[in-house]
Each structure stands twice: as structure tokens, then as C-alpha cells.
Amino acid sequence: MGVSLYQSISVLVPIRAERNVVVSPFCRTFPTEVSCTVPNVGAAGLEQNHNGMCVLSQNIINEKIYLLLWWYLVTLIIVRDMF
């Protein structure tokens, strides 16, 4: 709970990296871009591997759902304790 609490609260204040680039705290939990190797057949008929950047679009959706559920549960806990 401690790490997820810190990550969910830190979303409100994004971290600034070098050159004023804003880095989301969820990038450690839900990476959106990763290095991937894509095999294909070369000109001589042999396998060639190309290394590139792959976008994990499902993780973009997962981080939004996780954040929404986390704040929903926190709100329910607060409202429950009030009554």
C-alpha cells in the first residue's frame, strides 16, 4: 500500500527530469515505451532482427484505470468513515 499510495499522490505533482521534460510516476509501474526486437526475413532469406521502440498502448489504459480505481476507493473509505 505504501508504494501505491506514494505513486497515486505523486501523480498530482509530476516529476521534472532533465530539460523540463515531465515524467509520470507511473512509468515505473506501467511502462508505455519499451525496447523490442522484431524478427523478419532479410534479402538473403535469413532471419534479421530489428531493434526498435514499441508502444504498449494497453499500459496507457491500465494506468488510467488504476488511478481512477485508487481514487474511487480512497473516496469510498473517507465517505464510509464520515458516517
Strands (E), 3-58: 15-16, 22-23, 33-41, 47-55
Per-residue pLDDT reduced to its tens digit, 23-70: 667 777 788 888 999 888 888 888 888 898 998 888 889 888 988 998
Which residues have C-beta within 8 Å of that of residue 62, sequence separation ≥ 6?
Answer: 30
The model carries a pTM of: 0.56
Q: Are 35 and 51 in contact (CB under 8 A)?
A: yes
Instruction: Break the chain into its structural domains and give their ranges.
Output: 2-82
Per-residue pLDDT reduced to its tens digit, 39-52: 888 888 888 888 98
**Residue 14 is placed in which grid cell?**
509530476
40: enclosing H helix or E strand:
strand 33-41
Confidence of residue 80 (pLDDT cuts 50, 70, 90): very high
Q: Are 8 and 70 in contact (CB under 8 A)?
A: yes
